[in-house]
Every structure is written in structure tokens, then in C-alpha cells.
């Protein structure tokens, strides 16, 4: 959960997508950027990024705080926070794809040519990795399964 939370924090801040048109370079992160400000102002909403950042910070902090909790409580908190943080990471990825689809209809996600180039950057891939780590943490913690304490003994 700690690694997934850190990857999500860095992934949200790092550049996600770039567009290069006629020697002009535009990039964006989950919070916006030059691509949003120059080409489609007022249409981008960074609420998903802020919610994801909150869950990412909570998942990092919970990694340090949860060692003081009982094992059952620790598993439940880790599972719930990891699951919500993973969902938030995927929410940002879906929002990026839908925003690009509405803003630049008919343009592929990755394009390289003489007139324009566009494609994903490191923040996009870090967010995918963070989602994988967070969902893996949810599964490994086994906190969402209904186990009684008597059944474990």
C-alpha cells in the first residue's frame, strides 16, 4: 500500500500527456497544465485528481499508523483505503481518456507524424502501476473477506 500510494502521488503530479503541433509543445498532468490552459480552458475539471491525491496521502500515512492497530483492524483499514485509492487512480485514467476524446475527437491516443505528435508520459504509467499495487494490496491484506476470529484459530 505504501508503494502504491507513493506511486499515485508522484503519478498525479508528473506529466501525463503531451501534444506537439507545429513546434509548439503542450503537456498536462492530472491537475491540468499547458495543454488544458491553451487549447481547452474551462472544460477540464481536476476534482478527480484532488480526491485521488487525498486517498493517496491517506494510504501512505495509514501504512505507518496501521502498525499500532490490531491485526484484524489493520487488514480492514488497509483493504478499504487501498481499494478506494485504486478506484481513484482508475478514475483519473478514465477521465483523461474521456477528456481527450471529447476535446480532440478522432485523434488517436498515441500519434507520431510530421505535423503533430501526441502520447502518454510517465505520470500516466505511474498511475497504472499505482492502481495495480493498490488493488494487489487490497487482495493480499484479505481485509474485505468475512472471517471470524474463531475461524482463524
Q: Any idea what the CATH number is for the domain that residue 95 is in?
A: 1.20.140.150
pTM for the whole thing?
Answer: 0.81
Q: Is residue 97 part of a domain?
A: yes
Can you read off the three cell numbers belonging to residue 66? 496501521
Residue 101 lies in a domain: yes
In a domain, 149, yes or no: no
pLDDT score recorded for residue 148: 52
Mean pLDDT of the chain: 82
Count of domains in the chain?
1
Buried b (16+ CB within 10 A) or exposed e, 7-34: bbbebbebbbbbbbeeeeebbbbbeebb
* The pLDDT of residue 34 is above 60: yes
Position 150 in a domain: no
DSSP state of 109: S
User: Whose grid coordinates read 480526491?
Assistant: 51
Which SS3 state, helix, strand or coil, does residue 33 take?
strand
Where does the chain have alpha helices with state H?
Answer: 2-13, 34-39, 47-65, 71-103, 122-141, 149-152
Assigned domain for 100 exists: yes
Which pLDDT value is given to residue 143? 67
Domain hosting 126: range is 2-143
Q: Tell me whether residue 30 is in a domain.
A: yes
In a domain, 151, yes or no: no
Please write the tens of the pLDDT for every residue from 63-81.
787 767 777 777 788 888 8
Amino acid at each position: 500500500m505504501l508503494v502504491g500510494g507513493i506511486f499515485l502521488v508522484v503519478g498525479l503530479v508528473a506529466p501525463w500527456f503531451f501534444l506537439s503541433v507545429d513546434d509548439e509543445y503542450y503537456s498536462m498532468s492530472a491537475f491540468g497544465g499547458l495543454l488544458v490552459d491553451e487549447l481547452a480552458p474551462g472544460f477540464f475539471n481536476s476534482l478527480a485528481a484532488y480526491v485521488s491525491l487525498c486517498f493517496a496521502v491517506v494510504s501512505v500515512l495509514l501504512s505507518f499508523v496501521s502498525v499500532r492497530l490490531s491485526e484484524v483492524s489493520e487488514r480492514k483499514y488497509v483493504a478499504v483505503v487501498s481499494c478506494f485509492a485504486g478506484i481513484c487512480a482508475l478514475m483519473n485514467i478514465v477521465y483523461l481518456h474521456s477528456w481527450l476524446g471529447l476535446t480532440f475527437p478522432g485523434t488517436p491516443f498515441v500519434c507520431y507524424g510530421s505535423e503533430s505528435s501526441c502520447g502518454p508520459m510517465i505520470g500516466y504509467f505511474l498511475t497504472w502501476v499505482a492502481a495495480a499495487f493498490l488493488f494487489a494490496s487490497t487482495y493480499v491484506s484479505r481485509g474485505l473477506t468475512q472471517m471470524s476470529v474463531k475461524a482463524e484459530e
